[in-house]
Structure 1
Amino acid sequence: MTINGEAVATDDHFEVINPATEAVVAAAPNARREHVASAVEAAHKAAPSWSATPYEARRDALYAFADRIAEQREALAALLVAEQGKPLASAEAEVKSGIDYVTQLAAIRIDDETLRDSSGQRIMLRHRPLGVVSGITAWNYPIQLAASKLAMAVATGNATIIKPSPYTPLTTLHLGELGRGVFPKGVLNVLSGLDPLGEWIVSHPGIAKVGFTGSGPTGQAIMRSGADNLKRVTLELGGNDAAIVLDDVDVDRVAQALFDSAFENSGQLCNAIKRLYVHESRYYEVVGKLAEIARGKTIGDGMDPATDLGPLQNRNQYERVIGFLDDIRATGGEFVAGGKVPEGPGYFIEPSIVTGVSEGSRIVDEEPFGPILPVLSFSTIDEAVERANRTTFGLGGSVWSSDWQRAESIARRLETGTAWVNQHAALEPSIPSGGAKHSGVGVEYSRLGLLEYTVPQIININCGPG
């Protein structure tokens, strides 16, 4: 672990499992409550001078940190495959994404704004750092999530404490090592551990904000726990994203993009397509094409060059997704591709295309977070929009058509944080990302995301003699 810019050991550890082999990859340090106290103390000591550090120096420190990540990209990608399970090419892409998020977020400058400058009065709006903030990340994209959360915190002049998921702590611990000597002591602290580490961090009165990516129930628990000291939160939670395919779509052109948007990272993506609504006139054509693509995919160990899709990341999620498969069979759904659980070690499930299901079934109403896509038909646009919006989730959605302007008019009716046209889950550091309904609070990334790590302050000056 990294506390106050130094390596910190602990006498308690927990096992990290390779989801492709179920073998132990490493033993990670299990932080105690005193480690949280030490990290918060170190961060509080570092925060005043770091917040007073000129923007250019903070930016350059993040650039240097990104360079260190780049120097270790091969080792980080291999470690990511071992703890998370995704194919090596996807792991390499995530490392690159982490670098891009750090550098592009660092390049966003938050300046004071002049609200009024007239004879005798000057009013300025500035954005002060919150002080000490925390980032708690999920197991699906541990490098990208940790890199972006620490970048938003550090770029805005805060000191931060990063806690990765206990399923995938190794790459984030390595990021903490890379930050030593780049940032002043105490600016970046990284703790790993099992429950109740997250609760200790969230409830600590010395932490002003928590940025969290993960499940809805955990997000709600964070809000409850932080309420006593009015802790600020940014919550990026689950989704049940719907994609609507119109009658004028070019199926051959969009089928691969639809499949990739649903099955990236074996469906373990908050913004993945999880419900596909296809106009009845194109329904069987789309289903057939997606089934053909699914049957051509190879699942396996991420270090095997032939692997297209890796395993589910952990046993709990694996068993949960198997429960969806069982429920689909029990309620009359049909697997036109996949639906099988291979024998042998590893948390593998075939990419599955499902028909014969509707609203009211688990696979349509809930978020599976796995390689299963239900495909449903619709008759009218109004029907499709109403069904897409008939959910407590509101992360993302998309509309697919040969006429992008027609699709845009429909996308505007989706009750989501982001609505895409002819694409899905197209995320980047310069674009805000957040959820509606139960899919989140606040936004991440872009200037808007950075502002959530600050508090506005008005400087109101009477320019006359005092």
Structure 2
Amino acid sequence: MIAPEMLISEFETKTGHTGLLIDGQWVASASGETFPALDPGTGEVIAEVARAERSDVDAAVAAARRAFAEERWLRLTGQERGEVLWRAADLMRAQADRLAELESRNMGIPVSQARTMVLEASAQFRYYAGWADKIHGRTIDLGPGGRRVQGYTLREPVGVAALIVPWNAPLISAAKKLAPALAAGCSCVLKPAKETPLTALWLGQILQEAGVPDGVVNVVTGFGETIGAALAEHPGVDTVSFTGSTEVGRSIVLAGTANMKKLSLELGGKSPVIVMPDADLSKAIPGVAGAVFWNTGQVCAAGTRLFVHEAVFDEVVQGVAEIGRSLKVGYGMDPGVDLGPLISQKQLDRVTAYVEGGLDAGGRVVSGGSRIGDRGFFFEPTVVVDVDQSMALMREEIFGPVLGVMQFNDVETAIELANDTPYGLASSVWTRDGAAGHSIARRLRAGRVGINIHRAGGVYMPAGGYRQSGWGRENGPEGLESYLETKSVVAELGS
């Protein structure tokens, strides 16, 4: 096991803390101020990180702007850019164990799961490496026979991309934005969450080693209300890709109107899970548990609203509750741990308040419901019944291992309950009837629907939300769209 100070030493600046990456150089913030990065499993400080302010954002955007204007990245062919992204993927895989340990310490997730996330982040770069030389326009013959006109389209990078990522999946979220933005030819300013900045800094170093030119990728660390807001409203930024809460997403929409930025927003979710009476419960019960408890429920697409047919209600509820009780909750670096802590004391207080509010409103805890210990930010996997759609526990995103369960007696009611939400990020339905599964999938208002599975697909399947769950898509070919413009060119050829 590597000590935290050794894990971060490779990109520490001579000032003794992790710096900002601006125009290819690791520098202290202009103010010289830092903020602590914590281990949520212990509450202890594991690093001091440069605290950027607006002047640092200005410097990072200016560096990205120069790099784009000078075509430091675009002067490479698509094939050459793809080779750089592929090298980055290889470097991530080669350093996967160390990245996973750093992610686990800074975020709390069990290290074995963190390693899976590192490999998925690497896969993002490998996938979009293949797209870098395949971004093409099309040709069109126009005009009447006596006046020949040739038309064609060009797909061009939008320019400078501000990439703002959350704390619940730091490295994957950064990769899901950086890889397609770089494949498209953009220059970037990456802002990791203040809670989890460390693997983003390491990723910046990896991209330098892979051959990304100076200024093409800049990393600024700090607080959302200062540097996140500065990026969202900055006139030198052409597009913003943000993953986080719907509330912050709204503020980014308003800030982006100043220069009509392109926006890609993956926002909150309150994802429904439907278990039909004919479901294979040997698969549905662990599937439901995994949908809500994985990563301690700190997943935008977590299945936190469960609707179960009355014929199997008791069996499903008891089965999911039993799995929750059997999960080993503990420090992410310890062997055999299934769930780590919540990210912070603030998040622990938030989850606790939602559970207590649900109980005050008439809900009943079947399992869990309480904090674990007094060191770190651990919370029990929790199942609550006797709930209804009016409760905050069933309407608002909790971002913790808390499942609210209701029963239904016909499929129309199940679909109505599932769609009764302002969100629409993900969902799943569990049934042995294939035709019914696909029929229900078409009627659920969500960007992703699983049939007998809640989440799958990785980089190959587009992800994004309906309604207040966001705009645009990440992953797949669709993931490139936020970083590209389409230009039409027409020319008269004569008769």
TM-score interval w.r.t. the shorter chain?
over 0.9
1:106 matched residue in structure 2: 129
Matched, 1:115 2:121: no
Change (3 A) 1:115 1:17: same
Which structure 2 residues correspond to residues 202-241 of structure 1 after superposition, within 5 A?
202-241=232-271
1:192 matched residue in structure 2: 221
2:4 matched residue in structure 1: none
1:70 to partner: Cα distance: 1.8
Contact 2:53 2:226 in 1 (8 A): no
1:14 to partner: Cα distance: 0.1
Which structure 2 residues correspond to residues 121-160 of structure 1 after superposition, within 5 A?
121-160=149-188
Q: What amino acid does structure 2 have at the position aligned with 1:281?
A: A
Which structure 2 residues correspond to residues 310-321 of structure 1 after superposition, within 5 A?
310-321=340-351
Which residue, out of 208, 231, 235, partners 1:180?
208
1:456 to partner: Cα distance: 0.9
Task: Name which of structure 1's ranges 54-63 and 424-433 shifts more when overlaid on structure 2.
Answer: 424-433
Contact 1:399 1:408 in 2 (8 A): no
> For each residue in 1:330-361, what CA deviation from the matched residue of structure 2 results, as whole angstroms up to 9, or x when unmatched?
12211111112122201110001111111111
Which residue, out of 392, 395, 400, partners 1:370?
400
Q: What amino acid does structure 2 have at the position aligned with 1:138?
A: P
> For each residue in 1:254-307, what CA deviation from the matched residue of structure 2 results, as whole angstroms up to 9, or x when unmatched?
211111111110100001101010111110111111111111111110001121
1:440 matched residue in structure 2: 470
> For each residue in 1:368-405, what CA deviation from the matched residue of structure 2 results, as whole angstroms up to 9, or x when unmatched?
11001111100111111111111101111111101122
Structure 2: 5+ residue stretches without partners: 1-19
Matched, 1:409 2:439: yes
Which structure 2 residues correspond to residues 29-428 of structure 1 after superposition, within 5 A?
29-48=50-69, 49=71, 50-108=73-131, 109-116=134-141, 120-181=148-209, 182-194=211-223, 195-428=225-458
Provide the secondary structure at the position in 1 that maps to 2:366.
Answer: strand
1:192 to partner: Cα distance: 0.4
1:427 to partner: Cα distance: 3.9
Q: What amino acid does structure 2 have at the position aligned with 1:348?
A: F
Q: What amino acid does structure 2 have at the position aligned with 1:24?
A: V
C-alpha separation in 2, matches of 1:219 and 1:209: 14
1:12 matched residue in structure 2: 33
C-alpha separation in 1, matches of 2:292 and 2:98: 28
Provide the secondary structure at the position in 1 that maps to 2:379.
Answer: coil
1:56 to partner: Cα distance: 0.6
> For each residue in 1:172-216, what CA deviation from the matched residue of structure 2 results, as whole angstroms up to 9, or x when unmatched?
011111122410111111110123011111111000000000000
Contact 2:167 2:195 in 1 (8 A): yes
Q: TM-score, normalised by structure 1?
A: 0.97
C-alpha separation in 2, matches of 1:430 and 1:55: 20
C-alpha separation in 2, matches of 1:201 and 1:234: 14
Contact 1:127 1:451 in 2 (8 A): no
C-alpha separation in 2, matches of 1:68 and 1:463: 50
Which residue, out of 26, 47, 50, partners 2:47?
26
Q: TM-score, normalised by structure 2?
A: 0.92
Contact 1:110 1:447 in 2 (8 A): no
Question: RMSD of the alignment, in Å?
Answer: 1.4
Provide the secondary structure at the position in 1 that maps to 2:378.
Answer: coil
C-alpha separation in 1, matches of 2:354 and 2:396: 9
Contact 1:298 1:307 in 2 (8 A): yes
C-alpha separation in 2, matches of 1:273 and 1:22: 28
C-alpha separation in 2, matches of 1:51 and 1:405: 48
C-alpha separation in 2, matches of 1:369 and 1:116: 52
1:2 matched residue in structure 2: 21
Q: What amino acid does structure 1 have at the position aligned with 2:24?
A: G
1:446 to partner: Cα distance: 1.4
C-alpha separation in 2, matches of 1:292 and 1:328: 21
1:453 to partner: Cα distance: 0.7
> For each residue in 1:120-176, what CA deviation from the matched residue of structure 2 results, as whole angstroms up to 9, or x when unmatched?
332112211111111000000000011121111110010000000000001101111
Structure 1: 5+ residue stretches without partners: none
C-alpha separation in 1, matches of 2:369 and 2:196: 27
Paired residue total: 465
How high is the sequence identity, in percent, across the aligned residues? 36
Provide the secondary structure at the position in 2 that maps to 1:274.
Answer: strand
Contact 2:293 2:324 in 1 (8 A): no
Q: What amino acid does structure 1 have at the position aligned with 2:346?
A: N
Q: What amino acid does structure 1 have at the position aligned with 2:56?
A: H
C-alpha separation in 2, matches of 1:385 and 1:402: 17
Contact 2:177 2:241 in 1 (8 A): yes
C-alpha separation in 2, matches of 1:338 and 1:190: 39
Provide the secondary structure at the position in 1 that maps to 2:485.
Answer: strand
C-alpha separation in 2, matches of 1:200 and 1:23: 29
1:39 to partner: Cα distance: 1.2
C-alpha separation in 2, matches of 1:210 and 1:336: 42
Contact 2:265 2:470 in 1 (8 A): yes
C-alpha separation in 1, matches of 2:227 and 2:175: 20
Q: What amino acid does structure 1 have at the position aligned with 2:162?
A: S
Provide the secondary structure at the position in 2 that maps to 1:461.
Answer: strand
C-alpha separation in 1, matches of 2:257 and 2:455: 31
C-alpha separation in 2, matches of 1:131 and 1:52: 14
C-alpha separation in 1, matches of 2:91 and 2:280: 44
Provide the secondary structure at the position in 2 that maps to 1:127.
Answer: strand
2:10 matched residue in structure 1: none
Task: Name which of structure 1's ranges 180-189 and 112-121 shifts more when overlaid on structure 2.
Answer: 112-121
C-alpha separation in 2, matches of 1:272 and 1:230: 32
Contact 1:105 1:430 in 2 (8 A): no
